[in-house]
């Protein structure tokens, strides 16, 4: 990778790290608020005898509503709004794409342009909507786990233990949501690249455009990415070849790279007219 392109990669990865870090920081506040509300609500509504949840039909009905209670608490604490605001900020990566395309154009001595059509904008908007939906699944999954644990503990655990279990479930959701947030951010950037590179490939014979895998190679780099970094140096790959790869985590490595939280990109390195 030329020095100019390396600098752009580093700056973009730093932007993503800060962007996702801010999301996680705000998410922690949302989760803390929702957790406090749910535990307080359960303490007020449940019949508790000697610190344990009494085995009564009324208590069972309440515990069966824990999932809905949790989802509602996250929504009122601002989770939905946070997810939408986060996804809406994805286009903030566009300046890095502009710089990257300029560096690739200089390297290949072939002018490439970033000019999104209405269809491109619609595809990117669809991905933003999918991100919001995906982040919502974290809450739904968390709610399901919390309900199952609460029902299993019915009449067998003290309320403090149930509250601790719910708190742990909330805490895990922060890590899961942050992982999905970082992954979705990078996938949006690769999708912007993809829409640009599709225009480069348009009208050329299949396989005329080849790619190399670029990005950091450090202790965080997973095995798939190390292999692709090495392989693409001597064997640039076509889009079709890349799409058939298996990163062991997510489909279509052309868009998902090495999987969750991947920091790498596929870069046009050869164009045969």
Q: What is the pTM of this model?
A: 0.91
Residues 77, 37 contacting (CB under 8 angstroms) = yes
Taking only the tens place, the pLDDT of each residue in 136-171 is 999 999 999 888 888 877 766 788 888 888 898 899
Cα distance between residue 11 and residue 17, in whole Å: 10
Cα distance between residue 171 and residue 241, in whole Å: 40
pLDDT tops 80 at residue 31 = yes
Cα distance between residue 185 and residue 267, in whole Å: 18
CA 260 vs. chain centroid, Å, equals: 7
> What are the phi and psi torsion angles at 265 (to 5°)?
-135, 150
pLDDT average, residue stretch 168-193: 95
Cα distance between residue 114 and residue 195, in whole Å: 9
């Amino acid at each position: 990778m030329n020095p100019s392109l390396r600098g752009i990669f580093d700056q973009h990865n730093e932007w993503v790290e800060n962007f996702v870090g801010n999301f996680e920081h705000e998410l922690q506040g949302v989760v803390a608020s929702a957790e406090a509300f749910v535990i307080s609500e359960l303490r007020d509504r449940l019949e508790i005898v000697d610190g344990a949840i009494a085995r009564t039909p009324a208590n069972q009905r309440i515990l069966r509503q824990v999932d809905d209670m949790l989802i509602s608490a996250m929504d009122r604490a601002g989770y939905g709004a946070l997810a939408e605001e986060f996804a809406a900020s994805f286009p903030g990566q566009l300046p890095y794409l502009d710089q990257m395309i300029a560096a690739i154009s200089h390297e290949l001595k072939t002018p490439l342009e970033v000019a999104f059509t209405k269809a491109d904008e619609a595809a990117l908007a669809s991905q933003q909507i999918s991100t919001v939906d995906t982040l919502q699944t974290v809450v739904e999954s968390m709610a399901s786990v919390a309900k199952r644990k609460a029902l299993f503990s019915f009449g067998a655990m003290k309320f403090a233990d149930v509250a601790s279990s719910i708190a742990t479930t909330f805490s895990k959701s922060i890590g899961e949501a942050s992982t999905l947030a970082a992954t979705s951010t990078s996938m949006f950037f690769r999708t912007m690249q993809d829409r640009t590179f599709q225009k480069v490939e348009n009208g050329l014979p299949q396989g005329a455009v080849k790619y190399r895998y670029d990005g950091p190679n450090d202790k965080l780099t997973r095995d798939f990415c190390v292999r692709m970094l090495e392989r693409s140096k001597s064997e640039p790959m076509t889009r079709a070849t890349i799409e058939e790869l298996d990163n062991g985590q997510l489909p279509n490595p052309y868009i998902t790279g090495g999987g969750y939280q991947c920091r790498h990109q596929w870069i046009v390195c050869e164009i045969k007219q």
